Amino acid sequence: MKHVVSTNKAPGAIGPYSQAIKANGFIFVSGQLPVVPATGQFAEGGIVAQTKQSLENVKAILAEVGSTLDDVVKTTVFIKDMNDFAVMNNMYAEYFIKDCPARACFEVARLPKDALVEIEVIAICK
């Protein structure tokens, strides 16, 4: 059985999808753009600020079901420019410190609203 997960502490879906779906003991979090929920605008400060905001949005959605970043088993990072990988990775490493999840990272031609990064995760549900 699946359940839609939603919180106003992260940006709302802007299309026919959910912020996340809880199913079979996991939560599948849709790709999170670096949108600051209070303003609806991207975090300012380039790839560092955008990576941080994307992960803060992920954290807020996970918290809605009682999970944390420690419960994440897989992430996918979509990045506009692979030249930003090292900087993105340094910020990412501040959020995933030990027992890090599996990860894939792809450079993409374009992200929604011309974001620099988008991050999706799969985590264990508490």
Is 14's pLDDT higher than 90? no
Query: Domain holding 106: CATH number?
Result: 3.30.1330.40
- CA 56/CA 71 separation, integer angstroms: 15
pLDDT tens sequence across 18-49:
999 999 999 999 999 999 999 999 999 999 99
pLDDT score of 61: 98
Q: Look up the domain containing 57 and give its range.
A: 2-124
Structural domains of the chain, count: 1
pLDDT tens sequence across 43-93:
999 999 999 999 999 999 999 999 999 999 999 999 999 999 999 999 999
Quick one: DSSP state of residue 47?
H
Q: Give 41's strand partners.
A: 36
- Name the active-site residue from 105, 111, 122, 124: 105
Q: Which segments of the chain does DSSP mark as H helices, in order?
A: 46-64, 85-95
Does the annotation mark 105 as catalytic?
Answer: yes
**Chain centre distance of CA 119:** 4
- The number of beta carbons lying within 10 Å of the beta carbon of residue 55 is 23
Q: Are strands 35-36 and 26-32 parallel, antiparallel or unpaired?
A: unpaired
Provide φ and ψ at 27, rounded to 5°.
-120, 130
- The number of beta carbons lying within 10 Å of the beta carbon of residue 46 is 12
pTM of the model: 0.97
Provide φ and ψ at 6, rounded to 5°.
-150, 145
Is 126's pLDDT higher than 90? no
Helix axes 46-64, 85-95, angle to 10 degrees: 30
